[in-house]
Structure 1
Amino acid sequence: MLQSLSINNFAIVKSVSVDFKSGLSVVTGETGAGKSIAIDGLSLCLGARADAASVRKGCSKAEVNAVFTLPNITLPKSTTDAKTSKKNTSATRLHANNPVKAWLLEHELILEEQPDEIHIRRVISSEGRSKAFINGRTVTLAQLKQVGGWLVSIHGQHAHHRLLKAEEQRHLLDTFAQHDELIDAVKTHYADYHKTQQKLTELTKAQQQRKDRAQLLTYQVQELNDFALAEHEFTELESEHKRLSHAQTLLESAQLSFHRLYDDEQSNALSIVQKSLYDLQELVEHDASLAPIVTCLNEATVNIEEASNELRLYCDDLDIDPLRITQVEARYTQAMELARKHGVSPEQLYHTHQALSQELASLQSDEASLVHLREEVDMLAVNYKDAANALSHSRQKHGQVLAEQIQKAIANMNMPHAKLAFAVTFNEAAPFSSEGLDEISIQVTTNPGQPMGNIEDVVSGGELSRIGLAIQVITSDINQVPTLIFDEVDTGISGPTASIVGSLLRQLGKHCQVLCVTHLPQVAAQGHQQLFVSKLTDGDTTETTMRELTPDSRVHELARLLAGDELTESAIANAQDLLKKVS
């Protein structure tokens, strides 16, 4: 809860320091005195937007300090998971029921000497720059807002108007029902459905392009399949094509070379070398220096004989087959034509064939995936609707319970004929959302014989305030924020109803700390603590102050609220009577 608040040089406040108590604290004062100044300062301390206009005229900076005792609360699992850090330390698990302490431990901001307190400080310079501190350490504005949301909930004069919004009505019902598992199930099934539906949409959008591409690829791949070029076939084909294209020239040249080397009866290379070898061998015995030449001629004889044999075999094997020449020529030409058609070299044609085949297979797989995805989307839609339907049944059941409790509470606030219901309609044809398929509205009638209608069309501002206060009291055990602040939410209420509203706020103070800015003496009398705001001016400067009232001064303030500025014995007696009734 909020222990203390000090405000310095903020707006028309020069210096205010207030200690707060548990239960219900009421703030009163004259109109225009600045009764909401403490709330504005606290809002600033908890992360509200600040600018240079917040700084008191003539001062260099404004400063707000707040001290809280850490709440011992347990948040719903989904809320705790969303608001705590992703770090999974033993300290955070130990304090999972206290998100503020867990957050302080994770960020090493805990005060060792005061581990159950948190000190928040906000400083705004006259230039509009802002700094925030938690337990003496600088923090970001986002961090300040996060922590502030765990500590305080502020309801302004128009806070109850949020009840007129459909999303707020749904949130209220879900918070009361505490069916987090059902909500999580709907969100999970929705996420699965939405993700798969997106994939299906993307595939469907490109379906015609894939069909056109697949049609072209089918023709191209079939053409390449029919040609069936092997991986290294073109290199071999090119070599054979060159050989067969020059087969006659090769044969004639090979035969002529064989004739010259070996087969010419009159003069061939072999016989000439052999004759020279024979003559030189006889001369070696006369001159040994001829021996190397004899050796070379011996080798030359062997080489000529081997070359002649190879040429004979080559000529025998060189088959000039016109049919084979035609076949190779045709396949070679077709390979060149296909390579030109696909814009690649003939050597790359095989790999192009494989790549196109894989692309075609992938497109065909996409079409199969499209069918599978449609089936999967249909299945996920059924799962989502089942989860949404289960959530809807829970909302309907808890909506009846909550409506009965609200109706009973507002009956005691001068709305005896009012009837209220949560209309929960499961719309299976509605677009899927993470919140389910329910259309939720609060239906109200305030007069006998009148049909029920949407709350925004039926209730007045005062009636709406009473309904809102009733909801705050009913959900006080569920709403784990330790400090609730109401800024003149009792506007439009008077007479006996004001007494009942005050009693409800006091009852709410049993579950949490309540601060209420009010102008109603019936509400102010219910406070466990009453703070008075006054405004002083010397003609040049204005200053707002806040102080806690003593029992005697409290009687006079209540009398002022009852009778106006001129106090009478009757007003004082009425004020005393109000306080006696409370005690």
Structure 2
Amino acid sequence: MLTALAIRDVVLIEALDLEFGAGLTVLTGETGAGKSILLDALGLALGGRSAAGLVRQGATQAVVTASFEAPGAGSPLAALLAENGLEADDGEPLIVRRIVKADGGSRAYVNDQPASAGLLREIGQRLIEIHGQHDDRGLLNARGHRALLDAFARSEGRAVEAAWQQWRAAVDALESARADVANAEADRDWLDHAIDELAKFAPEDGEEETLAAERADMQKGARLSDDMETVMAAFAGSDGGLAQLRQAARRLDRIAPEHPLLAEALEALDRAVIEGSEAEEKLAQAADALRYDPARLEAVETRLFELRALARKHRVAADGLSDLLREFQARHARIEAGSEGLAALETAATATRRAYETAADALSATRRAAAGRLDAAVASELKPLKLDAARFRTVTETLPESQWGAAGKDRVEFEIATNPGAPFGALAKIASGGELSRFILALKVALAEEGGADTMIFDEIDRGVGGAVASAIGERLARLSDKAQLLVVTHSPQVAARGAGHLLIAKRSDGLVTRTNVNTLDPAARREEIARMLSGAEVTDEARAQATRLLQAA
């Protein structure tokens, strides 16, 4: 719901701060007072087209800020904000702001976070519905009629959507399998050869790394063999260095008690023997690891080079050859399975299609029944609105299969015929301005309990009518305001009297500057304004008395 609107330097408005409440708020004023400027300003805040001409003469920029109640958790609006990374604190109002510079440039903000004008329009469509004689959105857009009918029918579309997804998944799986089998059949000879070649070679996971490491170690062994033999010789035999250390340690052990330094020398010699033994062991292990076997080296290199050549041939990493073999074998298995595998997928596609058609047909039946109820509901609203010669119908047609989707099989469109014997056609093409506004009101009343934006604006919906018709319009607007916040620009005293709030738009000039102001009227001022609407330039006592009667009857 719209709670506040602040306007700065827009056309004739210098500074304006308005607050709005629930229910029906009427906006009145003399012709040319600037009611359209107020709506243009609100439209600008909601992503409408910006232009330098909107900036008040002499000002550097125009600013419009609109505040709304916090979006409900889990609502489509909250989801839209989250998708675009816009923070919306729980319980905090949603504030949209638009700045237009005198050179025509503009900036948009949502809760003080920069946003695009396109996003602002998406947000605005969820916040406010604007209905006027030239509005081409909302009820006049046939693309939204199916969703409106579903809301009126309170139909559950999730079963159809789920069935659609299952059917498409089954069809995709079948088409993919057919393509795989066709491709595999075309390449069967090559596939048989590739499987035979890979199976005989029997690649193993991680084999390239193992072979390369072993090859590198043997190549090192070949380079280090002479040095290794020399070092090992220093340790080997009874004349080796380690043997002589052990022999010296035994001799020293016998005489060590004779002097402390001999004991210390024995300890150092024992440590040397231990370290030497560890060195001898490590040398032996290194000799094994780096053992150079020309035959083994040749075999390892042959296997490694063939592995890499095979990988290059199939354009995969060497470690991917085993996975490739399994993939080729699976493709071969699909070929062997042949029609048996395809038959199962075809059965699944047929079954899921049947399930989708069953669910979609049930939804279509619900829509047709709801269309009849909606037609009757709208028809009951037409006569009081002086549209008793008009006819309304909800057209439901089955779409060709190529246009079926998650929302079912149907095309839905609202159509009217304004005169007896005249053909039906789209609302926007058949009805005149005044008729179209009243048709929209009739539809909104019929659909009142089925959701929509929390705020609706009707721009001069009562143009060209008066008396009983204006009273009927006012009564229906008041009824509609029980379900949503309504802002109504009106010239009709009968409609104005129905308002829970009343704003008077007036243009004032001091001879140099013209300004548009908006005042919230108290009960006495409301009576005076409605009396003016009844009598014209000179307000009479009779007009005041009639205004009192209208207000009391509202």
TM-score by length of 1: 0.63
Residues 549, 363 of structure 1: CA spacing in aligned structure 2 closer, same or farther, 3 A cutoff?
same
Residues 581, 430 of structure 1: CA spacing in aligned structure 2 closer, same or farther, 3 A cutoff?
farther
Matched, 1:416 2:393: no
Residues 162, 484 of structure 1: CA spacing in aligned structure 2 closer, same or farther, 3 A cutoff?
closer
Matched, 1:24 2:31: no
- Residues 24-74 of structure 1: CA deviation (Å, up to 9, x unaligned): 111122333320222232333344454554432322332233344458x79
In the TM superposition, what is the alpha-carbon distance from 1:560 to its structure 2 partner?
Answer: 4.6
Contact 1:157 1:486 in 2 (8 A): no
In the TM superposition, what is the alpha-carbon distance from 1:474 to its structure 2 partner?
Answer: 3.0
Residues 489, 362 of structure 1: CA spacing in aligned structure 2 closer, same or farther, 3 A cutoff?
farther
1:178 pairs with one of 116, 136, 154: 154
- Residues 113-155 of structure 1: CA deviation (Å, up to 9, x unaligned): xx46555544444452424252xx4353477666655543333
Matched, 1:549 2:521: yes
Equivalent residue number for residue 39 of structure 1 = 39
Equivalent residue number for residue 167 of structure 1 = 143
Superposed, 1:173-572 pairs within 5 Å as 173-179=149-155, 182-201=156-175, 209-214=183-188, 217=191, 220=193, 358=329, 361=332, 364=335, 370-426=342-398, 429=401, 431-447=403-419, 450=421, 453-456=424-427, 459-479=431-451, 481-537=453-509, 541-562=513-534, 564=536, 566-567=537-538, 569=540, 572=543
Alpha-carbon distance between aligned partners in 2 of 1:13 and 1:193, rounded to the nearest angstrom: 58
Equivalent residue number for residue 109 of structure 1 = 89
Equivalent residue number for residue 7 of structure 2 = 7
In the TM superposition, what is the alpha-carbon distance from 1:574 to its structure 2 partner?
Answer: 7.6
Contact 1:430 1:437 in 2 (8 A): no
Alpha-carbon distance between aligned partners in 2 of 1:164 and 1:119, rounded to the nearest angstrom: 28
Equivalent residue number for residue 113 of structure 2 = 138
Contact 2:63 2:97 in 1 (8 A): yes
- The aligned length equals 440
RMSD of aligned Cα (Å): 4.4
**SS of the residue 1:473 aligns to:** helix
Unaligned runs of 5+ in 1: 88-102, 233-338
Q: Which moved more, 1:409-418 or 1:375-384?
A: 409-418
Residues 439, 365 of structure 1: CA spacing in aligned structure 2 closer, same or farther, 3 A cutoff?
farther
Alpha-carbon distance between aligned partners in 2 of 1:354 and 1:176, rounded to the nearest angstrom: 58
Residues 32, 389 of structure 1: CA spacing in aligned structure 2 closer, same or farther, 3 A cutoff?
same
Alpha-carbon distance between aligned partners in 1 of 2:325 and 2:426, rounded to the nearest angstrom: 69
Alpha-carbon distance between aligned partners in 1 of 2:173 and 2:464, rounded to the nearest angstrom: 54
Matched, 1:576 2:547: yes
Contact 1:445 1:458 in 2 (8 A): yes
Contact 1:34 1:534 in 2 (8 A): yes
Residues 507, 559 of structure 1: CA spacing in aligned structure 2 closer, same or farther, 3 A cutoff?
same
Contact 1:186 1:434 in 2 (8 A): yes
Q: Counterpart amino acid of 2:157?
A: I
In the TM superposition, what is the alpha-carbon distance from 1:436 to its structure 2 partner?
Answer: 0.8
Alpha-carbon distance between aligned partners in 2 of 1:365 and 1:535, rounded to the nearest angstrom: 86
- Residues 498-524 of structure 1: CA deviation (Å, up to 9, x unaligned): 221111112222332211112333322
Equivalent residue number for residue 312 of structure 1 = none
Residues 493, 362 of structure 1: CA spacing in aligned structure 2 closer, same or farther, 3 A cutoff?
farther
Alpha-carbon distance between aligned partners in 2 of 1:405 and 1:356, rounded to the nearest angstrom: 63
Q: Counterpart amino acid of 1:213?
A: D
Contact 2:184 2:332 in 1 (8 A): no
**SS of the residue 1:22 aligns to:** coil
Residues 581, 416 of structure 1: CA spacing in aligned structure 2 closer, same or farther, 3 A cutoff?
farther
Alpha-carbon distance between aligned partners in 1 of 2:394 and 2:55, rounded to the nearest angstrom: 46
Residues 367, 516 of structure 1: CA spacing in aligned structure 2 closer, same or farther, 3 A cutoff?
farther
In the TM superposition, what is the alpha-carbon distance from 1:493 to its structure 2 partner?
Answer: 4.0
Equivalent residue number for residue 257 of structure 1 = none
Unaligned runs of 5+ in 2: 204-308
Q: Counterpart amino acid of 1:572?
A: A
Residues 221, 145 of structure 1: CA spacing in aligned structure 2 closer, same or farther, 3 A cutoff?
closer
- Residues 474-493 of structure 1: CA deviation (Å, up to 9, x unaligned): 33333263322222233454
Alpha-carbon distance between aligned partners in 2 of 1:375 and 1:464, rounded to the nearest angstrom: 51
Alpha-carbon distance between aligned partners in 1 of 2:507 and 2:6, rounded to the nearest angstrom: 17
Contact 1:555 1:575 in 2 (8 A): no
Contact 1:560 1:571 in 2 (8 A): no
Q: Counterpart amino acid of 2:382?
A: I
Equivalent residue number for residue 320 of structure 1 = none
**SS of the residue 1:157 aligns to:** coil
The structure having more radius of gyration, on CA atoms, is 1
Equivalent residue number for residue 55 of structure 1 = 55
**SS of the residue 1:477 aligns to:** helix
Residues 579, 21 of structure 1: CA spacing in aligned structure 2 closer, same or farther, 3 A cutoff?
farther
Identity of paired residues, percent?
A: 29
Q: Counterpart amino acid of 1:140?
A: A
Alpha-carbon distance between aligned partners in 1 of 2:371 and 2:31, rounded to the nearest angstrom: 40
In the TM superposition, what is the alpha-carbon distance from 1:538 to its structure 2 partner?
Answer: 5.3
Alpha-carbon distance between aligned partners in 2 of 1:357 and 1:209, rounded to the nearest angstrom: 12
Q: Counterpart amino acid of 1:212?
A: A
In the TM superposition, what is the alpha-carbon distance from 1:537 to its structure 2 partner?
Answer: 4.2
Contact 1:23 1:512 in 2 (8 A): yes
Alpha-carbon distance between aligned partners in 2 of 1:366 and 1:41, rounded to the nearest angstrom: 68
Alpha-carbon distance between aligned partners in 2 of 1:366 and 1:27, rounded to the nearest angstrom: 75
